[in-house]
């Protein structure tokens, strides 16, 4: 992966480092809750649970809760092993007989996701409502997240008075059509912004399924540049002020994050931001399948 997709350009480095330091200082005295969804992602889940330990070690105290269902791999075992090692971690596994519908947009898939995310929220309300921050994570990201980008997100959230949360830029590698040296079209590997459907910049309207939002895949603001106020975004990881997080309502009639962020903003007067420094790596191309993989 090119360095500029993970590390700040020189123009942004000083401000980036300042907010990373602020974030680390804040976490040292903060109570943080990590929640999210995992399904049939045992190896990626194990990797990301190892990564979250690095974040948790920076916190004054932490808890974790994961919702999962209908696993056919070792996801349940990975969670049992982790929770056995860390008593502040819990999970809830169900057998619902549901498919994942990974290729669908709004409908059965988002209704189920809204249900699972609401269960995470209920767990926080019942078990950790006085935490300082809630971090919502999709645990199936192949490459996890930027550790320094996370610290930057905490720092920016603390220093942005009207912020309810900071969302991530998620990255995926896939074939792209470019012009070769002979001025002929050619396919090459490239990185794009993955979670374009959840990203609503100045309106909650679903421009993506209307055929007018595909350009957002190419929008990758530089690491360390100023966070952008948005109506909704997620990108596989978002950091919320707990008060704001508990005010939102998940709704599956659209991307479940959109209704959540809309109601959160309406009820708190606070805004969601996309922090360009917060990077998650969802997928990359593998030689054995040409990079054709699905993500839910």
126-159 pLDDT, tens per residue?
999 999 999 999 999 999 999 999 999 999 999 9
CB atoms within 10 A of CB 14: 10
Closest CA relative to residue 27, chosen from 56, 7, 3: 56
pLDDT of residue 290: 42
Query: Taking a C-beta distance cutoff of 8 angstroms, is the pair 83, 90 a contact?
Result: yes
Query: Taking a C-beta distance cutoff of 8 angstroms, is the pair 233, 257 a contact?
Result: yes
According to DSSP H, which parts of the chain are helical? Answer: 10-27, 42-56, 75-85, 108-127, 147-159, 242-245, 256-268
Residue with tokens 């190892």: 50
Residue 293 banded pLDDT, cuts 50, 70, 90: very low
Distances (CA, A) of 53 to 58, 59, 82, 283: 9, 10, 10, 22
Residue 160 banded pLDDT, cuts 50, 70, 90: very high
**pTM as predicted:** 0.93
Residue 289 CB-half CA count within 13 A: 8
What class, spelled out in words, does domain 3-283 have in CATH? alpha beta
Query: Which token pair is 71?
Result: 């696993």
Q: Cα separation of 252 and 169, whole Å? A: 22
């Amino acid at each position: 992966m090119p360095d500029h997709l993970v590390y700040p350009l020189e123009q942004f480095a000083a401000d980036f480092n300042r907010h990373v330091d602020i974030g680390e200082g804040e976490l040292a005295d903060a109570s943080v809750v990590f929640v999210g969804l995992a399904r049939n992602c045992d190896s990626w889940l194990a990797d990301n649970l190892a990564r979250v330990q690095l974040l948790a070690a920076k916190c004054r105290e932490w808890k974790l809760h994961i919702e999962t269902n209908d696993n056919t791999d070792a996801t349940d075992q990975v969670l049992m092993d982790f929770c056995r090692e860390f008593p502040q971690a819990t999970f809830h596994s169900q057998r619902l007989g549901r498919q994942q519908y990974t290729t669908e947009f709004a409908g059965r898939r988002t209704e189920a996701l809204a249900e699972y995310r609401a269960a995470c929220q209920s767990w926080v309300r019942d078990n950790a409502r006085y935490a300082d921050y809630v971090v919502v994570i999709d645990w199936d990201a192949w490459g996890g997240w930027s550790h320094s980008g996370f610290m930057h997100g905490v720092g920016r959230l603390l220093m942005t008075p009207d912020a309810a949360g900071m969302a991530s830029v998620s990255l995926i590698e896939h074939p792209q059509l470019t012009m070769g040296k002979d001025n002929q079209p050619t396919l090459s590997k490239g990185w794009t912004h993955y979670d374009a459907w959840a990203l609503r910049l100045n309106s909650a309207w679903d421009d993506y399924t209307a055929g007018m939002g595909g350009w957002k895949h190419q929008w990758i603001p530089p690491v360390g540049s100023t966070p952008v106020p948005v109506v909704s975004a997620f990108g596989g990881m978002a950091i919320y002020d707990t008060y704001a997080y508990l005010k939102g309502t998940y709704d599956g009639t659209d991307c479940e994050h959109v209704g959540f962020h809309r109601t959160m903003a309406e009820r708190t007067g606070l805004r969601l931001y996309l922090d360009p420094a917060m990077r998650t790596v969802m997928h990359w191309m593998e030689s054995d399948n040409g990079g054709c993989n699905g993500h839910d």
